[in-house]
Each structure stands twice: as C-alpha cells, then as structure tokens.
Chain A
Amino acid sequence: MVPLVKRQTRKGKHPMSEQKIIEIEVLRYKPESDQAPHSEVYKVPFTDDMSVLQGVQYIKDNFDGSLTFRWSCRMAICGSCGMMINGIPKLSCESFLRDYYPNRITVEALANFPIEKDLVVDLSGFIEKLEAIQPYIIPKEPRTLEQGEYIQTPEQFSQYIQFTSCINCTLCYAACPQVGLNPDFIGPAAMALLHRYNMDSRDGGQAQRMELVASEEGVYNCSAVGYCSEVCPKHVDPGNAVNVNKINAAKDYFLRFLSPKGGAQ
C-alpha cells in the first residue's frame, strides 16, 4: 500500500503524480452481435491513486463508450462494482491498479452469473433468493410506537450485528463452487441475511424460515470450502452463517420427532 502523503521520489516528484501505462484486458460481450465473449486489451495511463474501476471508466470515457459495467458509490458500500479481477471476485472500486502493475490485469464479469453485457451480470436470481428468506423482522413481541424502542443489550446486539454488514455485492456467489454446480442454492449472502434476522432478539421468525434452510436449495448444498468468507469485502463471514444453520437444521430435524413444530421456535 502506498502512503499518499509522505513519500517523495528521488526526483522530488510524488509517486501519485507519475503517470504509467497499464494494460487492462477486459472480457467483452455484446449479446446483440457477439456469439461468445472475447477479450480486448486497452492501454490505460494511470496514477497510483487510481482504482480498477477508474481504469475501466477511463476506457469508457476515452476509448469506447460502449463498455458496460455497474458502479456508483466508489467507496465499497453500494455493492455495485464487483468483477473478477485476475480471476478473483473483488470490488473494483477498492482494488488498485498499482497493485497489479507492471503486469497486465484481466477484468471479467462475476463468475457463476449469466452475463448480460460486458461486465454486467443478471442478478435477478440472487434478488429472488434474497426475497425468499423473509428478510424482515417478524416480531416476537409486537410493540407500538408509543412504547418506544425495543431494548437490546450489548450481548443481544453482538449476536447479529456482524451479519447486518452484507452489501449484496454477490462476490461470495462468484466464489462459491456450489452455486456454480447448483444455481438454485440459496447461497452465502442470502443465508447470512437469514441468520441475521434469526439472531435478532426482536425477531420470532426462525421457525418460518427453517423450511427454506433445510430444503433442497438450503444449507446442505454447502461443502464448507469457505471461499465465500475469504472474498467478502465486509467481513460478514457468510460461511459461518451457513454452517451454524446446518447445525440448526439438523437439530430441528431431530426435534421434529418430539414436537410437531420442530425445534426452532
């Protein structure tokens, strides 16, 4: 990592102001004219502060306005700009060209999703999974606004807060070998969100969500590779959420013999 402020080069020129050229190889696909995706290489001038996203924007602004990708916030919170960078799913806004130079860098659409055009993938399947897990508070004890807020102790808060950090960037889906094999697998991010609500002291919906957890699309698809957690830019650890739910689902299965409602109440 290059400190922006202190370091000066020998000639008194700051490293950030020095312009170098990096080769960016982009996987292109125009569905209206291309039979299959193909690569194009662009020579992009850059400075050390520039992200991969800015490199791709440079291509669009200066070489080819038809290059297509999603982006918005530039600060790793909106979740739009995930790409395969040298084969690894990353947010392009917080990946820096300087870390790849002088080598050529390859940029492709996220793996395990159908490509719509260039770097844009079809997210509708992911969104359906997100909607399926009932990602909202199903109140354990309903409360009126006049009664004020629910009390949540630091201990209760710590149970779920980590799993609220998911930005829906879908890098974990691009990383997951099982999503590649079974696109219906509910997947790491959606399962982490399900776990987030199950673990919230305000919520009483765990039993309702259990059916999906234990279903054919559920947690048993996971082969515990853990790559999802490794690529997560927000340290949500979705792999952990999936595996805790494997245990919950197993418990629920056995408790079903004792209680018709199952164990998750």
Chain B
Amino acid sequence: MEIYKADVVIVGGGGAGLRAAIAVAESDPSLKIALVSKVYPMRSHTVAAEGGAAGVKRPDDSFDYHFHDTVGGGDWLCEQDVVEYFVKQAPVELTQLEHWGCPWSRTADGHVNVRPFGGMKIQRTWFAADKSGFHILHTLFQTSIKYPSIKRFDEYFVVDLLEDEGRCQGVVAIEMATGEFTMIEGKSVILATGGAGRVFRESTLGGIVTGDGMALAFRHGVALRDMEFVQYHPTCMPITGLLFTEACRGEGGYLVNKDGYRYLQDYGLGPLQDKPKNKYMELGPRDRLSQAFWYEQQKGRTIEHPVMGSVVHLDLRHLGEAYLRERLPLIYEMAETFMGIDPAKEPIPVRAGVHYTMGGVCVAGNCESSLPGLFAIGECASVGIHGANRLGSNSLTELLVFGKVAGDEAVKKAKSLPPGNSATLLKQAQAAEQRVLALKTKTGGTERVATIRKEMVKSMEDGCGIFRVAETMQANCDKLAELRERFKNINLDDKTSVWNTDWLSAIELDYQLDVAQAMAHSAINRTESRGAHQRLDGPDGAYKVRDDVNFLKHSDAFYVPGSAPRITYGDVKITKSPPEARVYGAAGEKADQERKASHV
C-alpha cells in the first residue's frame, strides 16, 4: 500500500474543499495538504450551481436582515450564533473571491451587482450570470494551483477514515486509474464531499452526489443532524430533474398553472405583484413554493403531460430574449437543447425536484465534529445555518465562509498534535483494503447495483416527498432495511482493477443506503411539520403544524451496525430570534413592521 503523510487531509475538491485548502496553504505554507477527490476538482457539483451567493452588499441592507431572513427561512432550526458569524463573513469572502478573479456580474459603473432571491428581504445575491457555481469553482481551482503545498489526489476514491488515540488521523483511498490503495495520514481531516440528493429519483444533482462523507463520518460514530430536511427545488426539468435556477424568478419570471394563473397568491405569498418583490409571490422560499406545486397537483390545476407527468409553467417570455441571454444564458441554452423550447417564446414546463440536503455531519461552529480532528464543511456538513429549509444563495457562500474556518481550525489542530502511530494506522488501512476488495472479488451474488439503486431512489421519493405520512414513511424504512440485506448479495460484472466504476458505484450505493436510512428514520420520528419536512398525518392532523414544545430540536441520527439508526434530539441555539409564525407576502411585511415597532 502506498503511504502519504500529510498534515491536513481534505476529502472533496469542490468549492468548500478548495477554499479550505487555500486557507491552510495561506495560513502556513509549511504544512502539507492532501486534497483528495473522486473527480477532477472542476467536475465537482459546485459547478452546477446557477443563481449566486448571498452576502450583504447594498447600503439599504444589513447583517441583521440577512440573519433574520436566514433564521426565519430555516423555520427557527438554525444555530443562531453560527448564522451571526456567517452573515458577517459573507461579504468578506465574496470580495476575496472577486480579488481571485471571479467574474461577478457588474453594474454599469463597474461594481459587483446583486440580484433578488427567494426569501431574502433585500437583494444581496452576488452572481456570475447564471453560472455562479461554475465560476466560483473554476476560480478556486485555478487559484489553488498557485500554492505548491497543496498536493492533489485527483480521481482517488475515499473508502474509510482512520481513527486512533480517539482522533481522526487520515483516510484510505483507491486510486481509480489503477485500483491500488493509498493511506493518507493527516492530523486534521476535513470532509467536503457534498450532498446526498442522488438517493432520490428525480433530482437536480450530478451522479457524484452520493453522500460519501456523510456515510464515512456516520460509520465512525458521528451524528448526522437534521437529515429529514431535504430541499425540493420548485423549478426543475421534468424527468431529468435538471435545474432552472431561482434567478429565473429573481429576474422576474412567473409561475403559472394550467389556467395561466399565478397560483402562488393562493398560498400565503400574495398579493399578486407585477414586478419581482422580495419575499412575495415567486420570491418566496423554496419549501413553500414546492408545497404550493404539490397542492396545485392535488387540486388538478397542474398541466398533465403524458411523459413529463404533472407540470406547471415557468414563464419568462415577458423578459425578452436579449435580457434572458444576458442574465440567464445557461437556462436559455438548456431549454433549447434539452427541451426544444425557446424561453423567449414559450413557457418552460417545470416541476419540483430534489435539490439539497439541509442536514449533514454534525459539527460545531468551528466545523469540528464529535470525533476530534474530523471536520466537515459545505453540503455534507450541518454547521447550523440552514435549519429546516435553506434559502437559495446561502449555500455557495457557506462553502467559502466555512471552508476558510475549517482550514484555519485544521491548521491549529495539525500544529498542536504529535504525529500518529503509523504502524497502527497502516494495520487499520489494510483491514479496510481487505474489506473493500472483498466486495469486488466475491462471487455467487445475484443482485445488481443498478437494481438496488433503482428501488432505493423510488422508495425515497415515495417516502420522503414534499408531503409525508407515517404509512409511506414506514414502508420506506422497511424497504431500505430490505435493500440493506439484499446489498450483501451483490454481484459485480467487473472484477478488474483499472478504473472499475462497477465497484466504485457499489461502494457509493453502500454509502447511499446508510444516508437514506438516516433520512428516513429522522423523518418518521419527527411528528411535526417544519420547513421542508411537512406531514399530513397525526391524530386530528396534529403533525401538520410546527410543534415548538417538542420539536424545536435538532435530530441526531447515530449509526447502529446492522440495524436502523438511533435517533436522538439536541437543543437549538437561539441568540436573538425567538420562534415566530413564519409568514411571507403581505403577512410577512406586517409581521416585520410589528417586530420593528416592538423593538423601538
């Protein structure tokens, strides 16, 4: 087995991982950084983010506004001290990215421009046309090349964490091009592996979004927090689930049902507005908009398509071709290429699809988990800023703000610790190698990776949808337990070493099943409705509403080998925003005024 001794190991080369790597390199160039990723960094799913990154920019905005938008948007399940830090650092990090060359869209006088986004009181979303994630990722990747202390392990697939003396001390990875194993030692390990949305069928996500880091931490006893909160994005391409950014609505797009009616006015987001108005109508938060889509479907007011299923229309026609080409060029091309639609002439059929995992590896504000030396950042982490529903454009900023935090903290940790016991670590790494190799070489199985995956994603869609009831949630839990058993009987077509993606998909599926179970069991145990977790059941419909008495709590899912995860509950940090009714549109504005008056 190859051995590499680093000081800081980073798993994942997307926005968060790259930002952390740069932070370590800038803070102490003498530290050796191993940046391990199963794809070349610029392939990471940050690349697909479209709309932009939130950070206070305008003189009429304030940190306090951004804080309240975020905490209210998260239905009060946010760690408020962490949110306070986040909103203050946001503009600093976004400016830093500008200095590194990110081509943020500009105003006519040459300053960075901002656009409106859902659930945000003032426009504060920095954007690079509708390819913000792409530009953030490439800017960070290209900037990272400047630092010689960052050693990349591109196309290395991590299969286990090393844990000794009560702390995390490295990872074991497969070099995909050869199938050989490498042990990478480090005094700090940062997980930055992204979300887990591919456990669902119809999602906006790339094939690589399989929850690897979540499962790795989970299996080492770290809690996965708030996993029941899965974001459905209201405007996705039917069948493929590809994303039409919220910026379509930020720029003035309408959502209409089969009668051409802007139905959001019926769901507490009105009254109707001609121009985009922050926190009204199409600029409401994603959970509310996806729920409205579901209600329209129930009422028979969606457009029924023989192949695409139930859809509504995203209407951009009134914005005109020139404006659309400037502000939403990617969306324009996607509609043309994938759907044969000219969005300047025809409305785009859309439906809600899975987009984001609010929950993740439970970490403190310094990004460290309960396993000392193990940090987590970005979508794979739950640092506490999204609560029960993430606001669009907060997650790209999160990558930067907490990438920097984790990088700095990892440096402190690495400098304070003695080297680990290499012999013990090697023994562990070899055991992991044998375990993972056995999955590839074993014979006599009858199950296919693709079959189990297909059943899992269908079951998750049925059981953890936009609205949930105990019966289907239980069926989902049962199905996942069955698939867990059947996974033991898996058989691979490919038994070779070089570039064995059959094998790697099986390891991913193994991760996905663990993460799916954490989601399914966290969901069925939360007998209330909050943010993206909405129930329709309970005695007299009791679970249809938020229950702050019993559930103003984070859920923590703990791994139990061979069984369903154990779910416990932890407190939420409230600093300055006690829970209130969560209202938007005119009701939201009234509540804002009342809050202001009561503070005077």
Contacts and interface: CB of A to CB of B under 8 A. Distances in A.
Q: Do A and B bind each other?
A: yes
A209 interface: no
Interface stretch (A145-153, A178-186, A215-223): A145-153
A72 B100 contact: no
Nearest to A54: B240
B450 A151 contact: no
- Interface of A (DSSP majority class): loop
Given A75-B334, A200-B101, A123 B40 contact: yes
Contacts of B494: 65-66, 68
Interface stretch (B138-146, B579-587, B590-598): B138-146
B340 A150 contact: no
Contacts of B462: none
Contacts of B206: 72-74, 78
Interface in A1-50: 1-5, 13-14, 16-17, 30-33, 47, 49
Interface stretch (A161-169, A237-245, A247-255, A257-265): A161-169
Interface stretch (A100-108, A131-139, A224-232): A131-139
A136 B99 contact: no
A202 interface: yes
B458 to A, nearest CB: 14
A113 interface: no
A14 B349 CA distance: 16
Contacts of A66: 493-494, 496, 500, 502
Interface stretch (B42-50, B476-484, B554-562): B42-50
Interface string B21-64: 00000000000000000011011110110000000000000000
Given A78-B47, A79-B42, A123-B40, A137 B100 contact: yes
A73 B240 CA distance: 11
B45 A151 contact: no
Contact of B337 (A94, A153, A203): A94
B101 A137 contact: yes
A117 interface: yes
Interface string B97-122: 01111011010111110000000000
B177 interface: yes
B67 interface: no
Given A4-B349, A137-B100, A150-B99, A77 B40 contact: no
A72 B450 contact: no
Contact of B110 (A118, A127, A151): A151
Contacts of B104: 149
A80 B341 contact: no
Contact of A151 (B111, B307, B330, B339): B111
A1 B505 CA distance: 33
A46 to B, nearest CB: 13
Given A61-B450, A137-B100, A5 B493 contact: no
B43 A80 contact: yes
Interface in B348-397: 349
Given A74-B242, A136-B145, A154-B108, A145 B330 contact: no
A143 B99 contact: yes
Given A17-B307, A80-B39, A4 B341 contact: yes
Interface residues of A, number: 71
A173 interface: no
Contacts of A85: none
B431 interface: no
Contacts of A127: 40, 154
Given A65-B502, A77-B48, A131 B145 contact: yes
A211 interface: no
Given A16-B307, A152-B110, A202-B101, A75 B242 contact: yes
B96 A64 contact: no
Nearest to B133: A77
B498 A32 contact: yes
Contacts of A94: 337-338
B450 A78 contact: no
B135 interface: yes
B177 A116 contact: yes
A154 B106 contact: yes
A20 to B, nearest CB: 14
Interface in B293-318: 305-308
A116 B499 contact: yes
B208 interface: yes
B77 interface: no
Nearest to B99: A143
Contacts of B106: 152-154, 157
Interface string B481-514: 0000000000011101111111001000000000
Contact of B142 (A78, A135, A139): A135
A76 interface: yes
B535 interface: no
Contacts of B286: none
Contacts of B95: 145, 148-149
Contacts of B44: 78
Contact of A78 (B48, B146, B177): B48
A64 B47 CA distance: 30
A27 to B, nearest CB: 15
Contacts of A17: 306-307
Interface in B127-143: 131, 134-135, 138, 142-143
Given A2-B340, A31-B498, A72-B45, A136 B101 contact: yes
A13 B305 CA distance: 11
Contacts of A33: 496
Interface in B321-354: 330, 333-334, 336-341, 346, 349
Interface in B145-198: 145-146, 154, 177
B574 interface: no
B78 to A, nearest CB: 26
Contact of B307 (A4, A139, A165, A193): A4
Contact of B306 (A14, A74, A164): A14
Nearest to A95: B337
A135 B493 contact: no
A120 B499 contact: yes
A77 B50 CA distance: 10
30 contacts: A3-B341, A4-B307, A4-B340, A5-B346, A14-B306, A16-B306, A49-B239, A49-B307, A70-B43, A71-B207, A75-B242, A78-B43, A78-B48, A78-B206, A80-B39, A94-B338, A116-B177, A117-B498, A120-B499, A135-B145, A145-B92, A150-B98, A151-B111, A152-B106, A157-B106, A161-B103, A168-B40, A193-B142, A202-B99, A202-B101
Given A30-B496, A69-B501, A152-B110, 18 more contacts: A3-B341, A4-B349, A5-B339, A14-B307, A49-B240, A61-B448, A65-B450, A68-B501, A74-B207, A75-B243, A77-B47, A77-B131, A80-B43, A116-B177, A127-B154, A137-B101, A164-B138, A202-B99
Q: Which 10 A-B pairs have the closest CB atoms?
A: A65-B493, A66-B494, A61-B450, A72-B206, A151-B110, A65-B502, A135-B142, A117-B499, A1-B340, A16-B307
